[in-house]
Amino acid sequence: MPKQIFKIENFHGGLSTDADPRDIADNELPVLTDAVVDEVGKVRMMGGNAAHGAPDPENHTIRAGHGLFYFTADRKGAHVHEDDLSGVNSVGVASVTVSAGGGTTTPFSSGPAITFGAPNVSGGVRATGTSNISGGGVTSITMTNNGSGYTSVPSCTGSGADGEPQPTLVSVLETSNTVLENPAETWPVDGLIGATINNTTDGSSVVISDNTATTVTGTLAGGSDNKWQVSDAYTVTDFPETGDDYLFTVDADSTASVLIYSRTSNTWSPARYPITIGANANIEASFYSVDGALRISDGNFDNASNTNQWYSYISRDYLQTLGGNSVSVSKWKNLSQKIDKPAATSKFNNVLAAASTTYSTE
């Protein structure tokens, strides 16, 4: 007998668990999970709206019906911008050395105002201090704020008091810190936990145990110093493979970029967009994911400058020789979906490889 279509149109008989599933009415259900069928012609999800509770994402324009996608990946850290995966450590001012107290021509009756130079790193805080006088000259400086964002010794001057000459002061930077600090970063709070931070200056590294928007905590090991000194360079690699769930939302104005929310760290990508699609507004984002990679395209074909994008985690060693230097890549990467042919100038970067890991031939 040829197959026939058995059309089931009604479900409002509800859940029936008393009778055998073969004996229930056509409008009844033997199993029903997280849904309600109390209205004729409708199957609705249970539950209702609830406050999200996570920090608000960066302000952006949502276009109804477009630009929201759920994605699960094996790797954590998809909401961390690639530009925040490397940089240099900065420090504050630990103290001030008084080389000459001043006031030898005209003694100070009150301490001169102390002014430090501006931090080298964007987002840093200028150090502050007060002067202490004795016998008409400056004898010491009390730090009231060590500041942050210094990668070189800032100037320190005294002024505004009645003594002459002014004191000669020399700033002394903090050393041997156990916490990395870079005020220019915009890390999602706790978004780096489990990843590895590498001090590429002294060769040490550590699995990150905690992070704020601008600091990373963990005890370095395996290097020559195992401390964060001023201007030590770093990279963040090897995000853990314990998995995470992400929400992607697209900014539909001319920013044409994507913000990402991480379920495990309960944070959005702050201030920076990990994925950029182009520069045309009114984007109609279309998402597709397979094999741990996400692809995004713009369904509004009037947007000529918006291009298809690929976003995924790359974990790969590029080898020069079987026993020679290699270039290791371990991070989330946003690239054009289009696969371009190698350029005429494409070659193995020997300079980069020479500064990278050397593998044993054994």
* Pair 217, 165 in one domain: no
For the chain, the domain total comes to 4
pLDDT at res. 37: 82
Last residue of a domain, one of 237, 253, 276: 237
Q: pLDDT (tens digit, 9 = 90+) per residue, 7-42?
A: 777 787 888 888 888 888 888 888 888 888 888 878
Mean pLDDT of 331-355: 74
User: Could you list the residue range(s) of the whole structural domain that residue 42 is in?
Assistant: 1-50
* Pair 229, 281 in one domain: no
pTM of the model: 0.76
Asked, for residue 130, whether it belongs to a domain, the answer is yes
* Pair 103, 12 in one domain: no
The yes-or-no verdict on residue 89 having pLDDT over 90 is yes
* Pair 246, 344 in one domain: yes
* Pair 260, 332 in one domain: yes
Asked, for residue 159, whether it belongs to a domain, the answer is yes
* Pair 267, 341 in one domain: yes
Asked, for residue 60, whether it belongs to a domain, the answer is no
Q: pLDDT (tens digit, 9 = 90+) per residue, 94-123?
A: 999 999 999 888 899 889 999 999 999 999
pLDDT at res. 362: 43
- Residue 107's Cβ-count burial label (10 Å; 0-12, 13-18, 19+) is middle
Asked, for residue 57, whether it belongs to a domain, the answer is no
* Pair 256, 332 in one domain: yes
Asked, for residue 35, whether it belongs to a domain, the answer is yes
The yes-or-no verdict on residue 136 having pLDDT over 80 is yes
Last residue of a domain, one of 237, 259, 287: 237
pLDDT at res. 255: 82
Asked, for residue 150, whether it belongs to a domain, the answer is yes
* Pair 262, 158 in one domain: no
Asked, for residue 141, whether it belongs to a domain, the answer is yes
The yes-or-no verdict on residue 207 having pLDDT over 80 is yes
Last residue of a domain, one of 146, 173, 200: 173
Mean pLDDT of 209-222: 94
pLDDT at res. 212: 94
One-letter identity of residue 25: A
